[in-house]
Amino acid sequence: VLSGCGVYDGTEIHEASAILVHLSRGGAEVQMYAPDVPQMHVIDHSKGQPAEAESRNVLVESARIARGKIASLAKLTTADHDAVIFPGGFGAAKNLSTFAVDGKDCKVNGEVERVLKDFHKAGKPIGLCCISPVLAAKVLSGAEVTVGHEEEEGGRWPYAGTAGAIKELGGKHCVKEVTISFPVNFHAERQFTHVDTKNKVVTTPAFMCETELHNIFDGIGAMVKNVLKLTGK
């Protein structure tokens, strides 16, 4: 489920791409969706500032990442899929919800909420990365998720305050890394992904941390692997 195209006003493109690569490697068939709604605003990514005169549609912008093969989120049904995955990017907090503005008092897009509740009720896994775990924390009471660390640690975790918001939303936050500590052990991937086995929610910090791209890629791979494992297929 995409939220636009571009880290500051839509889907984080590297995260979406990593998810698609790992799903492809895992043998999954993929269908992409996005809500057919206006973006909260448009960011000029070369300046990091809002482009006041511009307006864009979340579905239309998401189609850039999907290479045109995308459908309105309203058409996503649980019966047709084994799992659902949400990449991060500020679009999750601006277009899929109002978290960027309202924090713990945020509202979640109606179709996003429906999808999360339907997959949860059906016992089908839900994967989320970066900022998108706030969606599960808001919609699925008591869900266990991770957005990484709970302290900024000199700027390495610039969005660490999100962990506190997750707790205020009624979720449980679990501290995780974005890199594997050495020596590597059999359960190394558990260091950068959290699996809530009760709710079948799998999360990983991704770009919540200032780190190298390959670390983001590996953490997302662990998330996707666990989502596929939970499908039982």
- Overall number of domains in the chain: 1
Closest CA to 86 of 120, 126, 44, 128: 128
Would 8 be classed as within a structural domain?
no
C-alpha–C-alpha distance, residues 115 and 143, integer Å: 15
Would you say 2 and 87 are in contact if contact means Cβ atoms under 8 Å apart? yes
Q: Show the low-confidence residues of the chain (pLDDT under 70).
A: 180-189
174 is catalytic: no
- Is 66 a member of any domain? yes
Residue 18 forms part of a structural domain: yes
Q: What is the pTM of this model?
A: 0.95
pLDDT of residue 7: 97
Closest CA to 208 of 155, 166, 169: 155
Catalytic residue chosen out of the listed positions 5, 129, 130, 209? 130
Question: pLDDT per residue over 144-196, tens digit each?
Answer: 999 999 999 999 999 999 999 999 999 999 999 987 654 445 455 678 899 99
The answer to the question of residue 7 being in a domain is no
Q: So what's the pLDDT on residue 181?
A: 55
Any domain includes 1: no
Tell me, yes or no, whether 2 lies in a domain.
Answer: no
Give the domain CATH number at 224. 3.40.50.880
Q: Domain of 101?
A: 13-231
Rounded to whole angstroms, the Cα distance separating 110 from 173 reads 24
- Specify if 3 maps to a domain: no
In this structure, is residue 6 part of a structural domain?
Answer: no
Query: What pLDDT sits at residue 151?
Result: 96
Cα 150 versus chain centre, distance:
18
